[in-house]
Amino acid sequence: MNYRSRVFEFCQDTGGLLTTKEAAQIGVPAVELRKLAQRGALERIGHGTYRITHFPHSENMTTLEVLKMAGPESYVVGESVLALLDLGIFNSRKLHIATPKRVRKQLPSYVTIHKSASGDVATEKYKQIKCQKVSDVFIDLVGQLASDQLFSAAVEAQQQNLISALELKLITELINQTKLQQA
């Protein structure tokens, strides 16, 4: 099997994205990625990160690309998770991601990186994107966002089975406690 075939086969499961480290794991040297990019089969989207040029572009491709550039342990956090899942009216100008490692690569200006301790945050995949667990996002955002907006988004998340009824109850109690403290 030639290098191009290996890359294309691997990328079927990764949204058309590949890093030089992943290429090395499937037996494709970095120099071959550069050659494939020169020939138009791949597009370099960042340092050590490539995309298949003819691969169908999904609605969340930009987020997948940023996470790929930031490293395998990176994930979406905070209100960016809620915006990704279309919960409530959250239209953050920044994409918030977290990673336990230092990111030396140049990321787009709309990305904000948060440092996380290794293994301290529960993550799940939503829409094939590694994210902070939705219930944890709501708990973290209590007191930072408007209570009514947060509550309606939590109810919507529960209706979509993204959080349990017990988690909704906990979030509601936290919102009510915050309202009492602010009054």
The pLDDT tens digits of the residues spanning 131-181 come to 999 999 999 999 888 888 899 999 999 999 999 999 999 999 999 888 778
Pairwise CA distance, residues 77 & 123, whole Å: 9
**Mean pLDDT score of the chain:** 88
Radius of gyration, alpha carbons of the chain: 19
CB 18 within 8 A of CB 10: yes
> How confident is the model at residue 143, as a pLDDT?
86
Residues in the chain: 183
Domain ranges of the chain: 3-52, 61-182
> How confident is the model at residue 118, as a pLDDT?
65
Tens digits of residue pLDDT in 7-32: 999 988 888 899 999 999 999 999 99
pTM over 0.85: no
Structure tokens at 77: 């956090």
Q: Does domain 3-52 have CATH number 1.10.132?
A: no
> How confident is the model at residue 124, as a pLDDT?
93
